[in-house]
Amino acid sequence: MSKTVKDSALLMNVIAGKDDTAIDPRQPDKIKVPDYVAELSKRSIKGVRIAVVKEGFGAAGSMPAVDAAVKKAAKFLGGLGAIVKEVSIPMHSRAVPIWNSIAIEGGVDSFYHGHTAYQHKGYYNPRLISAMSRAIQSNGGDFSATAKMGTLVAHYMREKYHGVFYARAQNMTRVLTAAYDQVLKDYDLLLMPTTPQTAHKAIPSVEDDRKAYVAQALNMVSNTCAFDLSGHPSISVPCRDVKGMPVGLMLTGRQFDDATVLRVANTYMTTK
């Protein structure tokens, strides 16, 4: 989304808070929105409590070099005065199947409706709704192999189970969110790799190995997908001093505490 943490803070200054035009009614009106750029001037992170999530490391398909680089970053933050400790959040390991149920079935249903749910109080784009609702039938052959698989699975789940598993997954999101909130009562941030691997050097041809092609599209979400569901503010910044392919450090904070997330990330990236 941005080249620097400061640019992300500038973006937050523009988009955070209640939309007075009511085009986007999802923003709460009782949340205090700080000047995120000004918050970056508070460079000291002494006493900031950081939880290194045990289940965020060693995932299937993870690279030991990635885990090592992120743990080195955690140690660096500790050297700047942060209180860094490992914690266990067993529910984190269940985030992927919960996300799959919601993202696949819910995502395709959203596609049919032009990404606007019925009874939504915000802005509707009739042309977009019309075009997207026809696209699966008229241009489905243009989808990637991953999108085709998702569309077929979503259709099957809707036809056979009528949204039951989607509903169960949405309810489980509350349990997942509560697990993070429980830890964030005692800690200011959660820390883990953004993705369990470095960036891919190459993507296999879908014609040569369809299974590997789809796997590489979906094997990166084991940590990030949880916060797509819970809404906790997260940031990914490059790990310092990593040679070769980039490694992402992800910091996640309490609901609406984007300022702390941005401040610690900025201090990490700008401290020599």
DSSP string, 193-245: ESSSSPPPS----TTT-HHHHHHHHHTT-TTTHHHHHH---EEEEEPTT--SS
Q: How far apart are CA 10 and CA 95, in angstroms?
A: 31
User: Helix or strand or coil: residue 170?
Assistant: helix
Average pLDDT score over the chain: 90
Q: Give every CB contact of residue 109 below 8 A, 6+ residues apart in sequence.
A: 154, 158
* Confidence category of residue 190, pLDDT binned at 50, 70, 90: very high
pLDDT at 270 > cutoff 80: yes
201 touches 84 (CB < 8 A): no
* Confidence category of residue 117, pLDDT binned at 50, 70, 90: confident
* Confidence category of residue 113, pLDDT binned at 50, 70, 90: low
Query: How high is the pLDDT of residue 53?
Result: 98
pLDDT at 243 > cutoff 90: no
> Which homologous superfamily is 5-270 in?
Amidase signature (AS) domain (3.90.1300.10)
pTM of structure:
0.91
Query: How high is the pLDDT of residue 211?
Result: 83
**Could you give the angle at which helices 5-15 and 258-270 cross, rounded to 10 degrees?**
160
For the residues 199-204, what does the mean pLDDT come to?
Answer: 76
Query: How high is the pLDDT of residue 186?
Result: 98
Q: How far apart are CA 210 and CA 131, in angstroms?
A: 29
pLDDT tens string 230-240: 999 999 999 98
For the residues 96-110, what does the mean pLDDT come to?
Answer: 89
Q: How far apart are CA 215 and CA 212, in angstroms?
A: 5
Rounded percentage of the chain residues whose pLDDT exceeds 70:
98
49 touches 187 (CB < 8 A): yes
Strands (E), the chain: 49-53, 83-87, 189-193, 234-238, 248-253
